[in-house]
A = this chain, B = another copy of it.
Amino acid sequence: MTALNAQRMQECLDACLRCLKACENCAAACLFEPEVAGLRACIRLDRDCADVCALTAQLLMRGSELHPDACLLCAVSCARCAAECEKHAHHHEHCRVCAEACRACEALCRQMAA
């Protein structure tokens, strides 16, 4: 692996871990908002995205040859979660933070998948 590739993998890994944390936090917080009924899609997508980020991070950590394919799935997952969180970003700080983490992770995962 070249030094450039190693650096890109490290940045992608860091973004996956930040996104995982933001998604877990957002799902837990949404569930206890008074208007939980309006946040169902957000909770579902947060959870899916957290689990996809966790797997992608583990594959990146171990240098798996599957990492580009996993990054493609992760980019799709982050894009969907971000689009939903952005709808609630003006009302909930946890959604705003999650949307940002998802967009950052999506961009780096798309690079790795290419």
List the interface of chain A (C-beta within 8 A of B).
Answer: 17, 20-21, 24-25, 27-28, 31-32, 36-37, 40, 43-44, 47-48, 50-52, 54-55, 58-59, 61-66, 69-70, 72-73, 76-77, 80
Contact = CB atoms under 8 A, between A and B. Distances in A.
Contacts of A69: 72-73, 76-77
A20 B58 CA distance: 8
Number of copies: 4
Contacts of A40: 31-32, 36
A25 B73 contact: no
Given A20-B58, A36-B37, A55-B51, A44 B73 contact: no
A63 B28 CA distance: 8
A103 to B, nearest CB: 17
A62 B40 CA distance: 14
